[in-house]
A and B are shown apart, each in its own frame.
Chain A
């Protein structure tokens, strides 16, 4: 144990079904330091924090606190050891007040076990005050903005007087001012000897607040560096690692006639005049931040959100889509952002694969089981879905194989237009590459792909054209190789727009 070390994790290993999330990861945390944990989505940052906070059990490895091995098997253990965590997903109870949430499970009591409401409100006010925020402790969490909820969450952990603070992307919902406040507070805590382990995807934050940086990639630790020795581009290289071409196999396919044309589409109170054309064999990437309207666009095209204005033209014919059934009838397929929305977990492979094309395996309402097995077996073989046990419920498959089942479903339906919403979320690197290969094959078959993604490298590498959405509009459009990571981000936050200005 080196001087000033408070926490050491050794050989932490964790597998989820289908993903080896952490490969024997080591990490040490010094007393009074702010340690940045960086990595791409799916690199294992959140999992590591959850192991340290006891909300996810580790498969192997050990954790030492001030040199002594400790077991952290739930949030209570973590709290007893002085470890507090702010989760990325909000974990507040919406129906309770801010104060009740801050002291959840540890409400101050007075004689007779009754809760002392006034003491609780006072203490909550104190904690919130130290954060420098104006939130009424008596307000219900439901009525707060996302940023206020995030701050409440942070206040809840601060109220625990922790020695080690784990923060999972705490700034994603905060404004710049709130973020500066939080940073000021973290520096104050550091001054008092509190150690902070902090994940972020904003590289700019490293220099602003970090003392040391640890980079994870595909569940492995790449290295730990003092911030002074970690220039931004070096960190990016550590995060990305592999050669781009190897990770993103891009098939070069001749681009054909338009398969889908959208003009001035308004929908869901968010889309405000979206127009574009998708051609056969083309991958059109759509990038945008959460709430920019990407998913609304997909849902409108698929008949799940009603469009209020605009034209949708498929194969030269203007159509109206009011249900997924109709969309599928017009040859449109949609893989949702959440893979679980695409599968029936207890069903085997063939019924899941034919779910969107039941007509092709039914005669007069009666299912042709033999034909269904044949279609299922062919696609399982073709997409190398593992294990190829047809009768096994799909819930036992790994994430990547589940995603392949979803894709098989749309292959079976012979869609001409496929909308992929975050097609590689939560799957292993190897499975990602297979999904990209498959996208190339679909293009080769003349399918037009709409690829909705928040992974910039993936969009840059795979798309033939990229549209950036901002506030329900298309803020910019780039041809392949024209845009940089920076361009996409600037357009996505509304700082720039190529197409909007051209058309104005």
Chain B
């Protein structure tokens, strides 16, 4: 008994010593992984200095609202990338989920309490299909989601006839409108904070909880970190991947509803290119593109960098063409820095 207590006590001692290790690790992390946060502050500081409009509260809220859809998509993307996959179809799933939800509410007369869950279910279903095709069809994630990207856009075009839902014509002739709750979701505020930003924060909290506090998150880290070790430890790689892709589809559904609200209508081509922005946000946030490590908080910072950069370039009257060039170069520069940091510090 005494011996047992002693063993126990020293185990505690190790655990205690380790909390010290953890706090040290935190300082190191801030210095090493703080790259994105430092970049965000430098960027915001510079823009505040050169543009008085940038530092206004209204502009700040504007940035939050603009960033939120990318951030929402990036939460699901983070989990997918951590588990060793990649999802090119997030924007297309978002468009289809948003379009279906809008059609149900504007044309089929569904209430918002049916139309919202329909959009989320659609997103989840599409993600589930991605997961099943990848695991059961044994094809690379890249290819499966590339197929889904085109297919989902096509289905959305068929569903909407290529028109916005509701369009001007239908809105006037059929009195087909989206319910005010949807509009609030996209353009309202909660205690002065744009609703989309609130939704993004809630989604990020959900993603964080899944990643750090659930079996699924642990399995995703294990599968992405070493697929074979996960398998040999009795973790079902297929089930993990399918669930993670379904979760990503779910966040795409959330993004679709928010974007529909922001645009006041849904359309099949909305959010074009956002799959790359979501991947950009994940990578900017320090998640390892090859899986096994990453954080949702980092992704949120990554999304903010992209949002602030886009906003700043607008305020500085940089042409839309140049904005694309700058965005692309920034992503490359940050990842080059990140790779260098990993090699240099072995972090």
Contacts and interface: CB of A to CB of B under 8 A. Distances in A.
Contact of B233 (A329, A366, A378, A409): A409
B293 A346 contact: yes
Given A343-B229, A344-B292, A365-B215, A374 B15 contact: yes
B7 A382 contact: yes
Contacts of A104: none
Given A346-B225, A378-B11, 9 more contacts: A323-B234, A346-B221, A351-B221, A351-B222, A355-B222, A365-B214, A366-B214, A378-B7, A381-B10
Interface string A360-391: 00100111010001100110111000001111
A409 B229 CA distance: 11
Contacts of B221: 344, 346-347, 351
Contacts of B214: 362, 365-367
Given A346-B292, A377-B14, A381-B11, A341 B218 contact: no
B14 A390 contact: yes
A334 interface: yes
B218 A367 contact: yes
A409 B232 CA distance: 11
Interface stretch (B18-26, B100-108, B315-323): B18-26
B314 interface: no
Nearest to A299: B232
Counting contact residues on chain B (CB < 8 A from A), the size range is 35 or more
A356 B233 contact: yes
B15 A341 contact: no
B236 interface: yes
Given A345-B226, A351-B218, A380 B14 contact: yes
14 contacts: A302-B232, A304-B232, A324-B231, A328-B233, A344-B292, A347-B222, A355-B233, A356-B234, A365-B216, A367-B218, A373-B15, A389-B21, A391-B18, A409-B233
Nearest to A325: B234
B272 interface: no
Contact of A390 (B18, B218, B288): B18
Contact of B234 (A328, A367, A381): A328
A96 interface: no
Which of B221, B228, B230 is packed against the most chain A CB atoms within 10 Å? B228
Interface of B: 7-8, 10-12, 14-15, 17-18, 21-22, 25, 212-219, 221-222, 225-226, 228-236, 288, 292-293, 346
Nearest to A380: B14
A78 interface: no
A358 interface: yes
Interface string A172-208: 0000000000000000000000000000000000000
Binding site of B, secondary structure by majority: helix, strand, loop or mixed? helix
B51 to A, nearest CB: 40
A345 B212 CA distance: 17
B21 A392 contact: yes
Closest 5 CB pairs between A and B?
A: A344-B225, A328-B234, A356-B233, A355-B233, A390-B18
Nearest to B238: A323
B218 A358 contact: yes
Nearest to B346: A396
B226 A381 contact: no
Given A344-B222, A377-B11, A324 B234 contact: yes
Which of B15, B212, B216, B221 is packed against the most chain A CB atoms within 10 Å? B15
A388 B14 contact: yes
B119 to A, nearest CB: 25
A327 interface: yes
A340 interface: yes
A336 interface: yes
Interface in A219-256: none
Interface string A316-339: 000000011101110000101000
Given A344-B222, A377-B11, A327 B234 contact: yes
Contact of B229 (A302, A344, A365): A344
Nearest to A342: B229
A198 B346 CA distance: 37
A347 B21 CA distance: 15
Nearest to B26: A391
Nearest to B15: A377
A367 B213 CA distance: 5
Contacts of A392: 21
A59 to B, nearest CB: 18
